[in-house]
Structure formats: C-alpha cells, structure tokens
C-alpha cells in the first residue's frame, strides 16, 4: 500500500512537470460540475436497480494524472494506472467537445451489455459503461486536450478527453453492482440514500484546494473618529445661537432725561451748585427751589446773549497810529 502511494505521488509530480498544459487542456469549473452531475445521474439510472451505488466526487489528483496522459495524445490505456488500482475512460472527436454527448455514448454501451451473464456482445465495447457505473468507485477526475495527431488513430486536429476513476472496475471478474432495491445495502460510512446513490450523513471533505477567504481588515491603531451623519441634524456640532430678544428682554438703554428746564452748561462750578448732585445739578431736598434756580439760569443766559451782540467799545474809532500810516502812504504816492 505504501509502495502504491509513493508511486501515485511520483506520477502526479511527474505529470505536473511534463504537462504545462495550454488553455485547451483545461476543463472549466462548469465542465467539471457537468461531468459530476452526469456521472451521478447515470449511476442512479442503471437497469436493473442497484442495492449499493456510491455517489462519486471530483478528485484533483485524478484530474492531474488525466492531464498528464491527455497531452501525450495516445489512443491506448495508460499503463501506469494498473498498479494504482485506477480505472480510465477515453474519448476522441474531431468535433468540438460535447460532454453531454460523450457521457451519453459511454452510458449507451449498456445496450450491448448483458447484466445476467456479465458479458458484452462480440465486437462491441462495454468497458466505458461498466467503469462509469462501478458501484465501489467514488472518485473521478478528467482532463481534455487538443491534439494535432493522435497515436493509434488516423484522425488529425482532435479533442481528447481522459477520465480517471478510483477504484477501478473489475469487469472481467465481477458484475459492476449487485441487483436489488435501491440503497438497500448502503454501508455504514455512506448510509443515506440520495437519488438512488449511497451518501454519507455529513458532507465528505472536498479534496479540491481550499480557497482561503481574505482576512477581515485588522483594526486600525488610529483612534476612531465618528463622522457626523449629514442626514441627521442631531449629529452636527451644537452651536448655540443667541435667542431673539423678546420685546420685554431688550437691554435697558438709559434715555436722556428731558427736564422742563434747560440743563446747566457751565464748565466750572458756579456758586450755589455742588458737584455731588444729580444730572440737574440739584442737591437732594432742593426741589422746592427749582423755579427760583430756573429763573436765575435764564437771566444769566440773557445777559450773555446781550453781551455777545454789543459791538466793541472802540468800534468806529481810528487810532492815531493808523492815521499816521495813512498820511505817509498818501505822501509817498504823490512823490512817486
């Protein structure tokens, strides 16, 4: 067993180095899904029905082996698979590869197969069918390649499909499956029945490469700054605007009190006035003398006005120096 495992590992590594396949030898993800669906669909339709038939899954190692052999463009069984207990189906066409048609042709070989006698009609092929529906086979991997020529055939410019299976069929010694009620003999490792196929209770681990999900972004060392939501006025910075002044709340502006008398305009304190008084110049308790003071102020104002309107005392008089100057200027004028 260890020797077989080592051989498989070596072959897989060798085929990975040798193939370096162009795009034409790669099956798409959709192609692999189609191959899986068709294999399992046909396995669940065998006649007579099977008491035990495993559901097959895709195997990447089998696919790599198929790729390595497909690029060789040889129409003969791969001799390396015999030691690894692996089976093989081959298909070639000079038309674009049609997986549905290919799988149908393999399955239709059952028309030439006699289940009761476990035999194939003379000069007919049944091996593709028996490998396709071998009850114990649980893994499959396929590859396709575009060959300019293919050894063993006279075709040119052909599409070559290779499918590998594990474990291989033993068509010459055993029937591909046991006849009976569907899923009536599913073993403990695949006890559940799904579309006439025996499957495990829990999904089997996939042998395809795991696709690592991107890690969540690491938390930033910078402090989180919460951006305000433009649509939410409550998140904006609170700016307290001044309240409109109510009429009753207007600031008190002290208006100039207009009294019934003329304010005192003297710059110096006149007799009878004290600087400690209020704006009217009156001392507290002097309200009774208000009329008398008012009369005195008006009399003083009239006296000042009369003084301003009187001409100077020397108006109209010509001084002696002025007469001398005038006479001198007249003499000079005559002399000139």
Q: What DSSP assignment string belongs to 241-259? A: PPPPPPGGGSPP--PPP--
- Superfamily of domain covering 2-199: CAP (3.40.33.10)
Q: What is d(CA 264, CA 241) in angstroms, rounded to the nearest whole number?
A: 45
Q: What is the pLDDT along the chain (336 residues), one digit of tens a residue?
A: 444 444 444 444 434 333 344 445 579 999 999 999 999 999 999 999 999 999 999 999 999 999 999 999 999 999 999 999 999 999 999 999 999 999 999 999 999 999 999 999 999 999 999 999 999 999 999 999 999 999 999 999 999 999 999 999 998 889 999 999 999 999 999 999 999 999 999 876 654 444 344 444 444 444 444 444 444 444 444 444 545 444 444 444 444 444 443 443 333 333 333 444 444 444 444 445 555 545 666 666 776 666 565 555 555 454 555 556 565 666 555 554
Q: What is d(CA 59, CA 143) in angstroms, rounded to the nearest whole number?
A: 11
Cβ 167 vs Cβ 84: under 8 Å: no
* Helices 99-107 and 29-43: angle between axes, nearest 10 degrees: 20
Q: Which residues lie below 8 Å from residue 58, measured CB to CB, with a gap of 6+?
A: 32, 35, 36, 139, 140, 141, 206, 207, 208
247-285 burial, b for 16+ CB within 10 Å, e for fewer?
eeeeeeeeeeeeeeeeebeeeeeeeeeeeeeeebbbeee
Q: What is d(CA 281, CA 78) in angstroms, rounded to the nearest whole number?
A: 132
- 16 token code pair: 């990975």
Indicate the domain borders of the chain.
2-199
pTM value is 0.57
CA 224 from centroid of its chain's CA atoms = 19
């Amino acid at each position: 067993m260890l020797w077989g495992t080592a051989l498989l590992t070596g072959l897989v590594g060798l085929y990975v180095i040798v193939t370096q396949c162009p795009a034409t030898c790669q099956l798409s993800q959709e192609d692999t899904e189609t191959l899986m669906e068709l294999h399992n669909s046909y396995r669940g339709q065998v006649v007579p029905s099977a008491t035990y038939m495993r559901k097959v899954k895709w195997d990447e190692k089998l696919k790599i082996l198929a790729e390595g052999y497909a690029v060789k463009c040889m129409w003969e069984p791969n001799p390396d698979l015999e030691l690894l207990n692996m089976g093989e189906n081959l298909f070639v066409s000079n038309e674009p590869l049609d997986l549905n048609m290919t799988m149908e042709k393999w399955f239709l070989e059952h028309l030439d197969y006699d289940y009761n006698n476990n035999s194939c009609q003379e000069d007919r092929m049944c091996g593709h069918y028996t490998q396709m529906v071998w009850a114990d086979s649980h893994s499959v991997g396929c590859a396709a390649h575009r060959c300019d020529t293919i050894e063993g055939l006279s075709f040119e410019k052909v599409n070559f499909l290779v499918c590998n299976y594990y474990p291989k069929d033993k068509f010459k010694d055993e029937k591909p499956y046991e006849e009976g009620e569907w899923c009536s003999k599913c073993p403990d490792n695949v006890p559940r029945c799904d579309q006439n196929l025996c499957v495990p209770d829990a999904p089997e681990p996939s042998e395809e490469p795991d696709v690592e999900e991107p890690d969540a972004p690491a938390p930033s060392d910078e402090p989180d700054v919460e951006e305000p939501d433009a649509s939410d006025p409550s998140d904006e910075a609170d700016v307290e605007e001044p309240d409109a002044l109510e009429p009753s709340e207007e600031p008190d502006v002290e208006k100039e009190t207009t009294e019934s008398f003329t304010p005192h305009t003297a710059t110096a304190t006149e007799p009878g006035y004290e600087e400690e008084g209020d704006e009217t110049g009156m001392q507290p308790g002097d309200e009774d003398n208000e009329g008398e003071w008012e009369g005195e102020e008006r009399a003083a104002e009239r006296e000042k006005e009369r003084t301003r309107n009187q001409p100077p005392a020397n108006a109209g008089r010509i001084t002696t120096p002025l007469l001398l100057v005038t006479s001198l200027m007249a003499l000079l004028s005559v002399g000139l």
